[in-house]
Amino acid sequence: MKEFSSTVTKSILTGIQPSGVITLGNYIGAIKQMVRMQEEFKSTIFIADMHAITVPQDPNVLHENIRSLVALYIACGIDPEKNIIFIQSENEYHANISWLLECNTPFGELSRMTQFKDKSSKNVNFYAGLFTYPVLMAADILAYDVDYVPVGIDQKQHVELARNIAERFNKKFGETFKIPDVYITKEGTKIMDLVTPDKKMSKSSDNPKGVIRILDDIEDIRKKIMGATTDSECVVCFDPENKPGISNLINICVAITGQSIDQIEEMFQGKNYGEFKKYVADVVVEEISGIQKRYREIINSSELDSILDENIKIVRDIARNKFMMMKEKMGLYK
């Protein structure tokens, strides 16, 4: 079993969809928060590959992305000693539990999910999994009796549905599930596109020069920062409205080095943008080089296999117990 520090009592669980390589925006806005949370909570993190297939995927790309994402999270500071990290589809009890929950979830309630309405209206040829997706998410959560589910605001409705499903099940069949609370993760510092700094840095951007991906070539990263859009003033000062480019670079520095905005402004008083950009590039390159080095060490290593093998045993046992309990309560043969 994992040894959690004795001061850590509450538990969290979250799933991450394996959708391509992560960006500097994901790292600063989301992963760094998770790294902080692992000090406070017993934390379980899984790659939600079964959620990913609710929309069409290229099997080869998906397969690569799953392992790569586990390695990247570890390389970014998610500590396998402090977190249970696993791959959703390796624990078949999620799907088993999901079916039992589906048979206890009103069709009408699922029809009201805004993410389903959005996605199904964009492509009329959608599959049933897109509709039942929130029940699988409820299974992910309820299998583990966790205290909190940290998610972005777009997933809040799904966690509320999980709570409703759990409450109804408990009432009908007797106490079975802990009712988890949703924990809305505040958006961390929003990192903007380097070329068009009025837009968020996004995986799906069509101009790669504006987006830093964590596995980009180090020299390309440097070039992208040196080529970032700024303004004609030549004063390093934080003013997101009038100087979005420079302010974005300051935010990146603050997030990585822990310096304050004032400290950075002071450091570059009277200096030109070239010098400032070089500093930002050095800081980012140093951080990302460390991540890439760790990534390369583990991506094909047996260390990664052992972490996954050890964790899947732990979570399969927990989810299997929950499944057996549900079966019994529902009167299925056992």
Q: Which of 8-16, 256-264, 298-306, 320-328 is the region at the interface with ligand TRP (rule: CB under 6 A)?
A: 8-16
Least distance (Å) between residue 17 CB and ligand AMP = 7
- Pick one of ligand TRP, ligand AMP, none as the site partner of residue 34 (Cβ within 5 to 8 A by kind): none
The C-alpha atoms of residue 133 and residue 120 are separated, in whole angstroms, by: 12
Does 18 sit near ligand TRP (CB under 6 A)? no
Backbone angles phi, psi at 85, to 5 degrees: -110, 130
State residue 125 phi and psi, 5-degree precision: -90, 55
Q: How far is the CB of 257 from ligand TRP (least distance, A)?
A: 29
* Cβ closest to ligand AMP, residue 57 vs residue 202: 202
Exposure string of 292-331, with b = 16+ CB inside 10 Å and e = fewer, is bebbeebbeeeebeebbeebbeebbebbbebbeebeebee
Alpha-carbon span 112 to 164, nearest angstrom: 13
230, 257 Cβ separation under 8 angstroms:
no
- Residue 230 binds to ligand TRP (criterion: CB under 6 A): no
CB 202, min distance to ligand AMP, A: 6
Task: Choose from ligand AMP, ligand TRP, none: what does 201 bind? Cβ within 5-8 Å by kind.
Answer: ligand AMP
Q: Based on the shown chain and the rule CB under 6 A, indicate whether residue 292 belongs to the binding site for ligand TRP.
A: no
Q: How far is the CB of 8 from ligand TRP (least distance, A)?
A: 19
The amino acid occupying position 259 is Q
Contacted entry of ligand TRP, ligand AMP, none for residue 76, CB cut-off 5 to 8 Å set by kind: none
User: What is the spatial distance between Cα 210 and Cα 226, in angstroms, rounded to a whole number?
Assistant: 11
Report in angstroms how near the CB of residue 42 gets to ligand TRP at its nearest. 15
Whether 277 sits among the annotated catalytic residues: the reply is: no
The yes or no reply on residue 180 touching ligand TRP (CB under 6 A) is no
With CB under 6 A as the rule, give the number of residues binding ligand TRP. Answer: 12
What is the closest distance, in whole angstroms, from the C-beta atom of residue 9 to ligand AMP in the complex? 25
- Out of ligand TRP, ligand AMP, none, which partner does residue 191 contact, by CB within 5 to 8 A per kind? ligand AMP
Task: Indicate whether 48 belongs to the interface with ligand TRP (CB under 6 A).
Answer: yes
Can you tell me the distance from the alpha carbon of 143 to that of 279, in angstroms, rounded to the nearest whole number?
Answer: 47
Catalytic residue (one of 178, 200, 209, 327) = 200
Q: Which is nearer to ligand AMP, 10 or 190 (CB)?
A: 190
* 203 among known catalytic residues: yes
CA atoms lying within 13 Å on the CB side of residue 259: 17
**Residue 119 known to be catalytic:** yes
Q: Read off φ and ψ for residue 86, nearest 5 degrees.
A: -150, 175
Q: Which stretch binds ligand TRP (CB under 6 A): 133-141, 258-266, 277-285, 304-312?
A: 133-141
Residues that bind ligand AMP (CB under 6 A): 25-26, 28-30, 152, 187-188, 190-191, 200-203
Which stretches of the chain are assigned E, i.e. beta strand?
A: 11-16, 42-47, 83-87, 148-151, 181-184
What is the phi-psi region of residue 77: left when phi exceeds 0, alpha when psi lies from -120 to 50, beta otherwise?
left
Are the beta carbons of 44 and 34 closer than 8 angstroms? no
Q: Does 14 bind ligand TRP (CB under 6 A)?
A: yes
Nearer to ligand TRP, 17 or 189 (CB): 17
Task: Name which position in 22, 44, 85, 140 contacts ligand TRP (CB under 6 A).
Answer: 140
Check if the beta carbon of residue 229 is closer than 8 Å to that of residue 273. Answer: no
Rounded-to-integer distance, Cα 115 and Cα 126, Å: 13
Which residues are part of the catalytic machinery?
A: 119, 200, 203
